[in-house]
Structure 1
């Protein structure tokens, strides 16, 4: 009998507590990290058996519009979040004599790529135009304009 009374009180207090609980939007607006965390901790949990997706859509509001891919993050994006950009074009400033294993190459756009294979090449070019293309399984290839030389690379900066 005692458990039944406690259960009745808990069920009756649920809607009252939910009215005073903060919303996801209110928590997102808080700039102080500790206060924002406390706000999220105060959010009511969904009842057992309630799909979390249904609860999230009712409290989160409309979904944010997708943003265009950012070329400055090309090569650094997480593996789970695949970018729509398949290649970038840039150049290497100044004289470029080639590469060897583990060499780092700074592009004119500020990106730094490291040779990821054991390839070597001897080139004698000034301000060469390059393309970095996405390969399969997350691999990137450095290609030089007017040359058939390529190297597998990975972005380090």
Structure 2
């Protein structure tokens, strides 16, 4: 079996696992998903399954901590014998949950990955060259890092940004047959 066939089989498995996990209810039992991953024999496929499960459960906010309704008794014998009846509260997490579109182009270590993003360039677009910064309708800014150039005059053109190899991103502008390598700057 050649590498291309293996890659296709792995991709199909990833898509199936992703589809399965994305169809689960928001607070489904994570142990069932983990058990499903542990049964996968191939190391790469098993790791992909675990990564997908972890990414899926990161997208949901943490459950609200419940105040302790039981009285807390002092642990040291020399303390007063009165009970402490104040509920225990845990501070809410401060990390803001972002949508997958806001997360696209950010570091993979901190965010859930999506494969592509579709938006529009704001205003008149006259093309790009290396170093150009393009602002999308969703507020993201992308800088062209490739040496390719593209010239066309369009108003609010639709774009699609897809993942490339080794963490790169490619931008395709509708109406233009060229693709630019880009990097998110905001």
Q: Given the two structures, how large is their TM-score scaled by the length of structure 1?
A: 0.54
Q: Between Structure 1 and Structure 2, which shows a larger proportion of helix residues?
A: 1
- Written as runs of structure 1 = structure 2, the 5 A alignment for 1:115-126 is 115-126=144-155
Cα root mean square deviation, aligned: 2.7
Partners in 1 of 2:138 and 2:91 — Cα distance?
A: 36
The alpha carbon displacement at 1:136 in A equals 1.4
- Contact 1:69–1:83, Cα closer than 8 Å, also in 2: no
Stretches of structure 1 lacking an aligned partner (at least 5 in a row) = 1-18, 21-26, 32-66
Conserved 8 A contact 2:122-2:136: yes
Please give the alpha-carbon distance, in whole angstroms, between the structure 2 residues aligned to 1:121 and 1:28.
56
- Other structure's SS at 2:114 match: coil
Q: Is the 8 A contact 2:144 2:183 kept in 1?
A: yes
Counterpart check, 1:137 vs 2:174 = no
**Distance across 2 between alignment mates of 1:28 and 1:116:** 48
Distance in 1 between residues matched to 2:178 and 2:89, nearest whole Å: 50
Match of 1:29 in 2: 90
Question: Which residue in 2 is equivalent to 1:77?
Answer: 107
How many corresponding residue pairs?
A: 98
* CA offset digits 1:16-49 (Å, max 9, x no partner): xxx78xxxxxx99258xxxxxxxxxxxxxxxxxx
Compare CA radii of gyration and give the structure with the larger one.
1
Q: Residues 136 and 28 of structure 1: is their aligned pair in 2 closer, same or farther, counting only changes over 3 Å? A: farther
8 Å contact 1:117–1:153 — kept in the other structure?
yes
Q: Which runs of 5+ in 2 are unaligned?
A: 1-74, 77-87
**With CA pairs under 8 Å and 6+ residues apart, which has the higher RCO, 1 or 2?**
1
The answer to whether the Cα contact below 8 Å between 1:115 and 1:152 also exists between their aligned partners in 2 is: yes
- Report the Cα distance in structure 2 between the residues aligned to 1:28 and 1:122, rounded to whole angstroms: 58
Q: Could you tell me the TM-score, scaled by structure 2's length? A: 0.46
Moved over 6 A (4+): none
User: 1:110 aligns to what?
Assistant: 139
